[in-house]
Amino acid sequence: MGEVRIRRAKREDAAAMAAIYNQAVAGSTATFDTLAEGPEDREVWLNDHTAPQHPVLVAERDGRVIGWASLSRYSTRCAYDATVEASTYIDENETGRGLGTMLTEALLEAGRAGGVHAVITRICTENVVSLAMVRKLGFFEVGIMREVGMKFGRTLDVMWMEKLL
């Protein structure tokens, strides 16, 4: 296996990013989306991530995108401009190798450079791997919203986590 390289996402990455996201849509509670998206959906989404505080990074190995992470607008109210929401998605064939941590660390550095102050993330409480990862990176628990999601015929709780940069 080749070395993992982390870089800014490009429009050409949209199809690979959508494919990775769709793995989570179809098979996990990493996202509460229930409908798959196409590359064009991810392209539109990328166009909304041009501000310095909203970077999108991809991890690639041997020229293939194997994961991505983003900081997205938390709220349209201008007082929240330095607050963002973090997301990280890894190809299901690449999990368990520390890639999520590596990608999220790079994302937090990009956010810091872009003027981000507070990073929040929402994680389904059954996603213990992601919860452990963000705790390791210095995120702390803000609270739990009970039974706010419904996926795979189950009601799900969501943990709010935060990190101040």
Question: What band does 116 get if pLDDT is binned at 50, 70 and 90?
Answer: very high
User: What's the mean pLDDT in 135-147?
Assistant: 98
Residue 38 or 2, more confident: 38
* Domain over 4-120 is classified CATH 3.40.630.30: yes
Residue 43 has pLDDT above 80, yes or no: yes
Residue 59 has pLDDT above 80, yes or no: yes
> Which pTM does this prediction carry?
0.96
Supply the pLDDT for residue 3: 95
Q: Please state, in angstroms and rounded to a whole number, the distance separating the CA atoms of residues 137 and 127.
A: 16
Supply the pLDDT for residue 125: 98
Supply the pLDDT for residue 75: 96
pLDDT digits (tens, 9 = 90+) for 4-41: 999 999 999 999 999 999 999 999 999 999 999 999 99
Q: What string of DSSP letters covers 40-75?
A: HHHHHHHHT--STTS-EEEEEETTEEEEEEEEEES-
Supply the pLDDT for residue 112: 97
Supply the pLDDT for residue 4: 96
- Integer-rounded Cα Rg, in Å, for the chain is 15
pLDDT digits (tens, 9 = 90+) for 148-164: 999 999 999 999 999 99
3-state SS assignment for residue 38: coil
pLDDT digits (tens, 9 = 90+) for 76-113: 999 999 999 999 999 999 999 999 999 999 999 999 99
Please state the length of the chain: 165
Residue 1 has pLDDT above 90, yes or no: no
- Beta bridge partners, 103, equal none
Residues above pLDDT 70, as percent of the chain = 100
